[in-house]
Structure 1
């Protein structure tokens, strides 16, 4: 297990993020993965096939993606293991697949925009949520940003870090490939209902441990009310339409004394989602700052836990 390297990657990514100059020159590993997924989609996702064939084609596409991610990661990890500073080089590579800094920047951008105008804030929150932001007021914008922060704390940070800690570089690379596939083809639209079925189900599975752990991290950062936060999480999370998103969302809502969920609009269609938490439904700009502070404490706690495991194991 790579607890020390995972702790190092989490710390380095928090301090440095992914440099813009590097993105401009080499792009990002997720962009490379996305290009392969797009090619597989165009090649294998054919209209008019049966339900079974559609799913089998999706399974084949996912298998190709996983193999194309796993093999280079194994070879690279093997090469780096022969170098005395290979552990640091590997940790640096792993930072590219952790979204701690970018998530904080995107949510902070919503906070800053709310200080200027609703129009700017709607644009900013539209970059991190899938719902329609056009009609959101300050409360709706703050809630959308916080819900995104909670969910992405799990699948953008805790999950890749945990898979890196458990399975090394191949673990985090394959996890990110599955996560990217889910975001691109794991939809319930007519085009992807069958082809994206395998990606969506596998993504649910690989995110299951981290979603629960993220909720516990949020609870642990509120020691005075940790038991109450856990109780609310256990009560509300199973009612969420996602098997994983409800756990960090319910925990963050309870920790902040807020209530997430409720009606929201996607592509003009209003969905009534279960409520998470039992606090205030009306939120404002200051709640985003409180959410970011909770997020920061939770990520430091994750770092400390990884470092401690590295020291004692």
Structure 2
């Protein structure tokens, strides 16, 4: 595991500096796109609309097993090949950094603040619709800003910290398997007529593998609040203790509550997906009237927390 921390530190540094280059995406797409293609194919092959619910649930379990077998085998073979080459640690870090999303997450959330400032509510709704699933037409300007901050907090957990955790635990196969589970949940883990039974296994396994990352994310945000001007680590910790368990998700409440408490905001609460109104608990006891300036503050806290994650990986790499 000690070598994994070195790979993790390098991967975090490279991804923060370079992200995933557009030219590379244009040429070979992205590993998550490849994983998504496998999931889509399994969905078409195994998820039959006329099958009873129990059969579709079993089919979803089978699809998940096949997906993990494919991804795990490919990642293990790639890891073995890279380790036989010179500069193997750097090469493995370059492969792993494609599965971490620090930079792209920052840029997408920053786009919402810029859109609100430059184009008002309509532009803000269009920008936030690229990163959240809720109906943008139901959002006023404070709700757009809150949605962006909530997305930042939740995706910091499952797009950055959880992949980093599983990279540290299992190397390149660990992070690849995590991304396969997380991608499956995002594609088929929804309570829709087509996927409620078929996506059950993916959704439940995603809850499980995100459990350590969500708790670590809350800790990183609270720690970052010690250093970020105007943020409150005590309020972050208090909000997590009071509110995280009341969220409808077993994991999303942890980073959202930490972010809300640190910045004196209220996040979460009722929201609308399509035409469906979802009732959920509020995270934090602060303001609901969020602004583009609050998005900027959330991004600042996020950068500090990413720095804390890198520092922790670097210290462990050196110590071990």
Q: Structure 1 length normalisation: TM-score?
A: 0.98
**Partner residue in 1 for 2:285:** 278
1:145 aligned to 141, 145, 148, which one?
148
Judge conservation of contact 2:6–2:89 (CA < 8 Å) in 1: no
Q: 51-60 vs 194-203, which deviates more?
A: 51-60
Q: How much does 1:80 deviate?
A: 1.3
CA distance in 2, matches of 1:220, 1:206: 23
Measure, in 2, the Cα distance between the counterparts of 1:140 and 1:249. Answer: 15
Q: Give TM-score, length-normalised by structure 2.
A: 0.96
Structure 2 match to 1:196: 199
Distance (whole Å) between structure 2 residues aligned to residue 55 and residue 27 of structure 1: 31
Q: Map 1:104-183; keep pairs closer than 5 Å.
A: 104-117=106-119, 118-183=121-186
Q: Match of 1:270, SS?
A: strand
Distance 1:109 1:225, change over 3 A: closer
Q: How does 1:206-225 map to 2 (within 5 A)?
A: 206-223=209-226, 225=232
Distance in 2 between the 1:232 and 1:218 partners?
A: 12
How far did 1:147 drift? 0.2
Q: Over aligned residue pairs, what C-alpha RMSD do you find? A: 1.0
> 1: distance between equivalents of 2:232 and 2:22?
40
State the shift of 1:137 in Å: 1.8
Q: CA separation in 1, counterparts of 2:234 and 2:116? A: 33
Q: Distance in 1 between matches of 2:235 and 2:264?
A: 11
Determine if the alignment matches structure 1 residue 263 to structure 2 residue 270: yes
Distance 2:279 2:294 in 1: 23
- Is contact 2:232–2:263 with CA below 8 Å preserved after alignment? no
Q: After the TM superposition, which residues 32-111 of structure 1 pair with which residues of structure 2 at under 5 Å, given as runs?
A: 32-111=34-113
Unmatched 5+ stretches in structure 2: none
Per-residue CA deviations over 1:190-211 (Å, capped at 9, x if unaligned) read: 1111100000000000000000
Task: Using the TM superposition, name which of 239-248 and 78-87 deviates more.
Answer: 78-87
From 294, 312, 320, the equivalent of 1:305 is: 312
Which ranges of structure 1 fall in alignment gaps of 5 or more residues? Answer: none
Offset at residue 225 of structure 1 (A): 3.5
Alpha-carbon displacement from aligned partner over 1:207-262 (angstroms, at most 9, x marks no partner) = 00000000010001122842332121021011101000000000000000101122
Q: Choose which of 243, 247, 250 in structure 1 pairs with 2:257.
A: 250
- Aligned pairs, number: 313
2:236 alignment counterpart: 229
- CA offset at residue 158 of structure 1? 0.5
Shift of 1:52: 2.2
Note the C-alpha offset of 1:264: 1.4
Q: Please say if residues 247 and 280 of structure 2, whose CA atoms lie closer than 8 Å, have aligned partners that are also in contact.
A: yes
| 8 A contact 2:138–2:272 mirrored in 1 | no
